Amino acid sequence: MAKKSIKRRWITNNLGVIALILLVIELTVIYAVQNYFYNSARQYLVSKINAVNGVLTRYAADSGTNLNAEIRSTLESFSDKDKMELMAIDYNGRIVLTSSGFTPDFTMDMPDYTEAMQDGHTYGYSTGRTDNGERIMAVCYPITGISGEYSAIRVVTSLETIDSTIRGFVFFVTLIAIAVLLLLGLSNLYFVGSILRPIREINSNTEKFAQGDFSARINQESEDEIGELCAGINHMADELSTAEAMKNEFISSVSHELRTPLTAIKGWADTLNDMAGDSVRGEAPPDPEMMQKGLRIIVGETERLSEMVEELLDFSRMQSGHFSLQMDTMDVLAELGDAVLIYMERAKKDKIRVIYEEPEMLPFVYGDKNRIRQVFINVIDNAIKYSDQDGLVEINAEAAEDGSAVRIIVRDHGCGIKKSDLSKVKTKFYKPNHTRRGSGIGLAVADEIVSMHHGSLEIDSEENVGTTVTITLPAKDAK
């Protein structure tokens, strides 16, 4: 129904208005042409009756001339009797003489005669039909000043030729209007079709998108706004497809990340349970060293699970707009030092050297110290995670020259990031290297936290060379 509705509305609103405009133009042109022809005919009749009146006036000036006889002679010898009829009307308003020799019915209505006689010495004009339906035009002029027997002379001509010409013109103009309307209709239908085709395709593809199929693409037929819309929807489909793939990878990665500590916890819990059972039954004494190792692993893996769950919760809060900050004046060096201390021991176990050059003082920052520490932990964790054994991680902190900001630089010499992946590493769910642990949302969370502090998190990396992360936070007293 929607497809037909657009066409119907277009035809009604567009072609209907155009048809109305063409009709008004046609009627205006027809009226102007009819007036032109009728005025021309009237002027011609006036010129003829003026010529006759001029002759009669000269006869009247000659006292020796029989005016009534001259009037009869003038009517009988009227040169244009084949085109029009010249008449003489007496004072009773009856036609008594005609150039054709036939006296019309006395009851003939003559509005032109009435008009001429009422106004006095002016022309009377009228159009009408004869008893047989023929259209005529008449011009009447009073001659009461020169004749005592005849009150006026009248010229009458048929309008059939003029009306026939006008009808032909009307037919021609109507054909042109219909042709223009048809041409506009065809072009408009083609234009509407060029819009409806991509709209139908868009509708069909969006239904597929709603069902989770992002493989469909719209054919971009033009470079106009519709083409831009098609290109935009295709780009949206590409992004949705990428996001869907990243989401699936994220689910797979998180499932793997959760399974690993859970497996370790369950395995060591089973081992410790068996040791406790053997001890109760007196089969073997518990091994304190083994129990301590198992408990340490369970605690460590539990903390790892807790960090992952907290990271997921933070991301969920950010997506829903419920992520909040507890802002206060904070010492960046204190939080950075705690983050470095947390990962020093782990770096030693992984045989990775961490060099932290701590400055004596940095400007204070107005922010959430727990969230800023979370950013430092995430970035340092990534640096260690993506470093190889016997690698090096360098951590520096410095103030901007004008004291307006604080910069923390974390540099590793690990596997680095491909140039094609560099612009995506802060995108949610994205993992440039699937061989390393992690959920793929840590940097997205860190970048959002830094942005909420009106700072920036910039990443510079080269594959097989290393990665440098620069965190910039505005100083509290910066102008």
For residues 283 and 385, state if they share a domain: no
Which among 190, 188, 216 is positioned nearest to 203, based on CA atoms? 216
For residues 246 and 273, state if they share a domain: yes
Pairing outcome for strands 353-357 and 392-399: parallel
208 lies in some domain = no
Last residue of a domain, one of 114, 137, 165: 165
276 vs 77: CA distance, rounded Å: 150
184 lies in some domain = no
Please report, for the domain that includes residue 332, its CATH number: 3.30.565.10
Structure tokens at 450: 């830094």
Q: What's residue 472's pLDDT?
A: 93
Which among 205, 204, 199 is positioned nearest to 217, based on CA atoms? 205
170 lies in some domain = no
Helix extents (H) in 88-159:
111-119
Please report, for the domain that includes residue 271, its CATH number: 1.10.287.130
Last residue of a domain, one of 259, 289, 319: 319
219 lies in some domain = no
Question: Structurally, how many domains does the chain consist of?
Answer: 3
The position carrying tokens 């006395």 is 106
Q: Give the DSSP H or E segment for 17.
A: helix 16-61
446 vs 453: CA distance, rounded Å: 11
For residues 313 and 412, state if they share a domain: no
For residues 63 and 131, state if they share a domain: yes
Asked if 406 contacts 332 with a C-beta cutoff of 8 angstroms, the reply is: yes
For residues 32 and 13, state if they share a domain: yes
Please report, for the domain that includes residue 157, its CATH number: 3.30.450.20
54 lies in some domain = yes
pLDDT along the chain (479 residues), means of 10: 62 80 90 92 92 87 76 86 90 87 70 83 85 88 85 92 91 91 83 76 80 76 75 81 71 67 79 72 68 80 76 70 81 89 82 87 89 88 86 90 89 85 69 53 82 90 88 81
Helix extents (H) in 62-159:
67-76, 111-119
Asked if 413 contacts 391 with a C-beta cutoff of 8 angstroms, the reply is: yes
Q: What's residue 449's pLDDT?
A: 87
Q: What's residue 1's pLDDT?
A: 44
121: left (phi over 0), alpha (psi -120 to 50) or beta: left
For residues 283 and 331, state if they share a domain: no
User: Rounded to whole angstroms, what are the CA distances from 325 to 99, 314, 328, 330?
Assistant: 112, 11, 9, 13
For residues 343 and 410, state if they share a domain: yes
Asked if 431 contacts 253 with a C-beta cutoff of 8 angstroms, the reply is: yes
Q: What's residue 172's pLDDT?
A: 92
**CB-based contacts of 293: which residues, under 8 Å, 6+ apart?**
none
Q: What's residue 281's pLDDT?
A: 65
273 lies in some domain = yes
Dihedral of CA 83/88/94/97: which sign?
Answer: negative
For residues 279 and 385, state if they share a domain: no
19 vs 174: CA distance, rounded Å: 11
DSSP 8-state code for residue 434 = T
Buried b (16+ CB within 10 A) or exposed e, 372-381: bbbbbbbbbb
Asked if 71 contacts 56 with a C-beta cutoff of 8 angstroms, the reply is: yes
171 lies in some domain = no
Asked if 469 contacts 363 with a C-beta cutoff of 8 angstroms, the reply is: no
Q: What's residue 257's pLDDT?
A: 63
For residues 27 and 66, state if they share a domain: yes
Boundaries of domain holding 437: 327-474
At position 360, the amino acid (one-letter code) is: E
18 vs 329: CA distance, rounded Å: 70
**CB-based contacts of 126: which residues, under 8 Å, 6+ apart?**
110, 111, 112, 115, 137, 138
71 CB burial (10 A radius; 0-12, 13-18, 19+)? buried
For residues 78 and 156, state if they share a domain: yes
254 lies in some domain = yes
For residues 307 and 338, state if they share a domain: no
For residues 54 and 152, state if they share a domain: yes
Last residue of a domain, one of 115, 146, 165: 165
